[in-house]
């Protein structure tokens, strides 16, 4: 039973890892696609522009220091097709987002999963 559970979990993880990059315009050479990190903090800016829409979030690390995260999505047209708009995030919003982190340890990520804005889950269509 345990083996089966592990297998199922690995399968799910595998599907997630395989499906996320398909949404990307760019390759993933700079991202650690095997990892998911949850960034919780306050939005400082939301840039609705090409080549990629991106979100800036101030979040505290384990030591209590503020980290300036930058999290990218796809281009404007693709994000609009997923139900996003230029007002999806606003400065001051409290957010929790699942991201794929940069390989080099910089506070840079790419949207990959759950997005919560001011306590409300935001569903990407």
Site residues (vs other proteins, CB under 8 A): 18, 21-30, 33, 47, 49-52, 54, 56, 70, 72, 75-78, 80-82, 102-106, 108, 125
Which two three-digit tokens encode residue 80?
A: 């609009």
**CA distance linking residue 80 with residue 64, whole number of Å:** 35
Pairing of strands 108-117, 54-60: unpaired
Q: Which is nearer to other proteins, 9 or 106 (CB)?
A: 106
Q: Which is nearer to other proteins, 6 or 16 (CB)?
A: 16
Q: Which is nearer to other proteins, 70 or 117 (CB)?
A: 70
Q: Provide the minimum distance between the beta carbon of 96 and other proteins in the complex, in angstroms, as a whole number.
A: 21
Q: Provide the minimum distance between the beta carbon of 5 and other proteins in the complex, in angstroms, as a whole number.
A: 26
Burial label, 110 (beta-carbon count in 10 A; 0-12, 13-18, 19+): buried
Q: Provide the minimum distance between the beta carbon of 119 and other proteins in the complex, in angstroms, as a whole number.
A: 26
Classify each residue of 30-64 as buried b or exposed e, where b means 16 or more C-beta atoms within 10 Å of its C-beta: ebebeebeebebebeebebeeebbbbbbebeeeee
Q: Which is nearer to other proteins, 52 or 114 (CB)?
A: 52
């Amino acid at each position: 039973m345990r083996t089966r559970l592990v297998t199922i979990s690995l399968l799910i993880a595998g599907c997630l890892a395989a499906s996320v990059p398909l949404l990307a315009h760019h390759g993933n050479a700079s991202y650690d696609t095997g990892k998911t990190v949850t960034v919780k903090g306050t939005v400082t800016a939301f840039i609705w522009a090409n080549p990629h829409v991106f979100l800036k979030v101030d979040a505290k690390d384990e030591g209590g220091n503020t980290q300036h995260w930058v999290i990218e999505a796809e281009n404007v047209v693709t994000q609009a097709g997923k139900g996003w708009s230029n007002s999806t995030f606003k400065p001051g919003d409290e957010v929790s987002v699942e991201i794929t982190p940069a390989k080099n340890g910089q506070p840079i990520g790419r949207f990959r999963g759950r997005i919560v804005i001011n306590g409300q889950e935001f569903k990407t269509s």
